[in-house]
Amino acid sequence: MQPKLIIHGGAGSSLKGKGGVEVVRRSLYKVIEEVYALLTSGGSAKEAVVLGCQLLEDNPRFNAGTGSVLQSDGQIRMSASLMDGTSQRFSGVINISRVKNPIELAQYLQSSPDRVLSDYGAAELARELQIPSYNGLTDLRLQEWMQERQDNFQRTMAGVVAESDFAEHESFESQLTESTTARRGTIGVVALDTHGNLVAGTSTGGKGFERIGRVSDSAMPAGNYATQYAGVSCTGIGEDIIDECLAAKIVVRVTDGMSLQEAMQRSFAEAQTNKRDLGAIALDARGHIAWGKTSEVILAAYHNGERMGDTLEIPEGTQVGNGEMG
């Protein structure tokens, strides 16, 4: 079977005119190239999803791992999950601090009897596994939080799409302005391997400025779900994704016989009617690739077996597309 791959680096406001499109495209394509090479050399979908999530978590441009946004108390708390469609097994960590790659803990928990751990328990596991302590704070996220604190936290979310490299193109101040106008980050990967196994993974720093204890969709089946028929990773406002139960809804529709494109169209039409702000990437077992969004832009890229493509310049508004585009 020909492997397929789709990844995302969040959803948000338009990248147009900000010099950000090419920079984001390069970042996403670099990940696609490395992860797709693993799949074509016989790597499993699970290995591919974990590697893809690690690479995206390590890129400070995206709101996961290094570069995660800060919560209302100025701390980073991250959430990540992994779902194996073949075993139909979900695992994850919720609100973990001081680790470099939360997806690694989700991977470890795949074979544990207790498969979703939160804050204190997740930290205990990291200590047991002797995972080194790591601070994923970046200057941009700290500046963003301090600016917002001065305004007494009027925003309900942080800017979660940092659109340029620090030294590239723009000043720190302009990046801060852009970062705070862009929103709704998370990273995600869905892969189909040569054996036909589907796996989905999602990781996030949350929405930024949230109350301590707020739980993201990213480590719930609402935000990350797979069966042997389809896999989905979501991005956007967690509360909206949970209210739609978006990932599970799309996957169950495909599992019950709907085509992936129809399941995406139906689910995004419902999300639009309900005025949600979200996006999703998806694969089915036959190798169809799909993405959808109600937000202005979704930062997604894919490999359809022949070439890479992306969604960075798709028109604003609710859109559903497939891997033949871009």
203 binds ligand GLY (CB under 6 A): no
Catalytic, out of 66, 138, 180, 186 = 186
236 binds ligand GLY (CB under 6 A): yes
Distance CA(297)–CA(68), nearest Å, equals 20
Interacting stretch for ligand GLY, rule CB under 6 A, among 38-46, 89-97, 170-178, 210-218? 210-218
Instruction: Identify residue 152 by its one-letter amino acid code.
Output: N
CB-wise, 183 or 253, nearer to ligand GLY?
Answer: 183
Angstrom CA distances, 209 to 146, 191, 205, 227, stand at 11, 32, 11, 34
Interface residue with ligand GLY among 235, 304, 319, 322 (CB under 6 A) is 235
Interface residue with ligand GLY among 57, 163, 193, 217 (CB under 6 A) is 217
207 binds ligand GLY (CB under 6 A): yes
Interface residue with ligand GLY among 6, 161, 237, 247 (CB under 6 A) is 237
Active site (annotated) includes residue 86: no
238 binds ligand GLY (CB under 6 A): yes
Distance CA(82)–CA(90), nearest Å, equals 6
Interface residue with ligand GLY among 71, 86, 186, 295 (CB under 6 A) is 186
216 binds ligand GLY (CB under 6 A): yes
Smallest gap from residue 235 Cβ to ligand GLY (A): 6
Interacting stretch for ligand GLY, rule CB under 6 A, among 64-72, 146-154, 204-212, 301-309? 204-212
206 binds ligand GLY (CB under 6 A): yes
Instruction: Identify residue 178 by its one-letter amino acid code.
Output: E
295 binds ligand GLY (CB under 6 A): no
Distance CA(205)–CA(102), nearest Å, equals 10
Smallest gap from residue 305 Cβ to ligand GLY (A): 29
Residue nearest to ligand GLY (CB): 238
CB-wise, 18 or 207, nearer to ligand GLY?
Answer: 207
- Judge whether 116 and 109 are in contact, CB under 8 Å: yes
8 binds ligand GLY (CB under 6 A): no
> Would you please indicate which residues are annotated as catalytic (active-site) residues?
186
Q: Which residues of this protein are in contact with ligand GLY, per CB under 6 A?
A: 186, 204, 206-207, 216-218, 235-238, 241
